[in-house]
Amino acid sequence: MDVTAVAVAASRAIETDGNHPLFEDDFAAEFVRAAGLSEVFPVSHTQIGRREDAENLRALARVTALRTRFLDDYFAEAALDQVVLLAAGLDTRAFRLAWPAGCTVFEIDHGPVLDFKQTVLDDADARARCDRRPVPVDLRTDWGGALLRAGFNPRRPTAWLAEGLLPFLPPAAEEKLLDRTDELSAPGSTIAVWATAADIRGADAAVRSTIAGFGIDIDRITHTEPRRDARAHLASLGWTVTESTVDELGERYGRPQRHHPVTFFTATLA
């Protein structure tokens, strides 16, 4: 199982466990338990309180909560009935969000990740609130072809999501992914991107130490080689880019943050 996907699920479980959560993901803790990693990744505030790195864990969970709520709102505001989650991981938006009538949500990821996810969701008797279509494919291969075979319509505007994906791609693969996304996008399409490779290089020592404590070697699994800026890349293809900051989201959602240098943005194709 993808340990990074489980780590994100754990952070979402922690937010769900709070008194006034920004969102609720009732499946998140189940993913962690099913992966056999509930002793490694805390899924509740009570568990966090027993750990020496409690404050760093809370900080990571707070940022995950902000990004999750922001991206939930992104889909609501886009109000498009065709959605593609690139590297969907253990994302459960197909089950959590209120989608437009007739909406199709495509979830792209490696087959084993999607199979694990499906098993847990089936055990929980989960029911998607849209036409959910898992697409098992490696994003470094012809994922566009697999998406089309799954019923994707390139003539319909699409809401795309690349959440936590780009740092895990080599520069050439990132460029190809953005180019292919553009090729498949009809006017009116949107994309939301959370985190770039540069954010990994800029992660502070406390964050890196906490992640390392989970057994995740950031330097080994991410790619930080020099590359074309994703925002400039999309702009050159005709997309209008709007940037935000974690600090701004903290103010928007009533969760003030210490400065957190993560890049995220949305873009729209006219």
Find how far residue 219's CA is from the centre of its chain: 19
CATH code of 39's domain? 3.40.50.150
Report the domain count for the chain.
1
The tokens 């055990």 sit on which residue? 123
Which structural domain, as residue segments, surrounds residue 84? Answer: 3-269
Instruction: Give CA torsion, residues 120, 68, 147, 198, to 10 deg.
Output: -120
Query: What is the model's pTM?
Result: 0.93
Mode of pairing for the β-strands spanning 131-136 and 190-194: unpaired
What residues pair up with 108 in beta bridges, in sequence order?
Answer: 86, 135
pLDDT in tens, the chain (270 residues): 788 899 999 999 999 999 999 999 999 999 999 999 988 899 999 998 888 778 888 888 888 999 999 999 999 999 999 999 999 999 999 999 999 999 999 999 999 999 999 999 999 999 999 999 999 999 999 999 999 999 999 999 999 999 999 988 999 999 999 999 999 999 999 999 998 767 765 555 656 666 666 667 666 767 778 889 999 999 999 999 999 988 899 999 999 877 677 778 999 999
Q: How many CA atoms lie within 13 A of 27 on its CB side?
A: 21
